Structure formats: structure tokens, C-alpha cells
Amino acid sequence: MSLLIAVALAAGAPATADTVIGRWKTETHNAIVEIARCGPSICGKILTSDAIRANPSMKDAKNANAALRTRPIQGMQMLSGFKADKDGVWSSGQVYNAEDGKTYSGKITPVGANQLKLRGCVFFPLCKTQTWTRVR
């Protein structure tokens, strides 16, 4: 009985910063993104993807800023500025999409210990959500 109560309490506990810290496999392109603390916020960089494995020297060629088009995709920061809300959701962040060279407003919602819902919006309600899975 006490085990059931402990499980119920843990399931209802708010997510902490540590919930989102780690390596995550994206829903598309078999990309791995590493999320870490960046001061009071969290940020994330691209470690690898199908395209990077095929071309390790791949550049950020579609970036809207011409000065950034020669930077490598591998190791590039694609998540920035996410702040923790009281309910464990990370919002007010930016999501950079190298496929179109644009930056979107973002929100990260932990779903248990091993999944995240990442939402990027041009402007609300024009949003897209992906489910990312923790890589162990």
C-alpha cells in the first residue's frame, strides 16, 4: 500500500530542472540534442543527426543571418533562453530550426522522466509539437 502511495506522489510531483537535463532523441532525423543548464535557464545543442552522420562538416547554410551560414551544425546551440515555470514547464525559450534557418518561440514540457514535448511556434496557435525521448 505504501508503495502505491509513493508512486502516486512521485507521478504528481512537479518536474525539476534535472528532469530535462540530458540527451534526447528527436522525433525526426534521428537527431540527438543535449540539454544542459545555462545559468538560470536551459539550452540545447545538436550532437548528431542522420544528416550530420552523412556529412559531418554540414554547415548552417539556410540561416537568415548570412554571417552564420558557415558555422557547423554539429555542436550548434538550437535551444536557448528557456525559463522554468512553477509547474515544471520550460517556456519563453527559442528553438532554432536549421532546416529553414528560422527561430521560433518554444516551450518544453516534461512527460515523466523519459519524454519531453517540445513545441515551437511561429506565433500561437501556429505551432508544431514533437515528442523527444531520453537517450541513456
Residue-level pLDDT at 123? 86
As to burial, measured by CB atoms within 10 angstroms (0-12 exposed, 13-18 middle, 19+ buried), residue 122 is: exposed
Residue-level pLDDT at 130? 96
Domain boundaries, the chain: 22-134
- What global pTM score does this model have? 0.85
pLDDT in tens, 15-36: 555 799 999 999 999 999 999 9
pLDDT in tens, 80-130: 999 999 888 999 999 999 999 999 999 999 999 999 999 999 988 899 999
Residue with cell 523527444: 132
Which CATH number is associated with domain 22-134?
A: 2.40.128.520
Residue 57 confidence class, pLDDT cut points 50, 70, 90: very high
Residue-level pLDDT at 106? 97
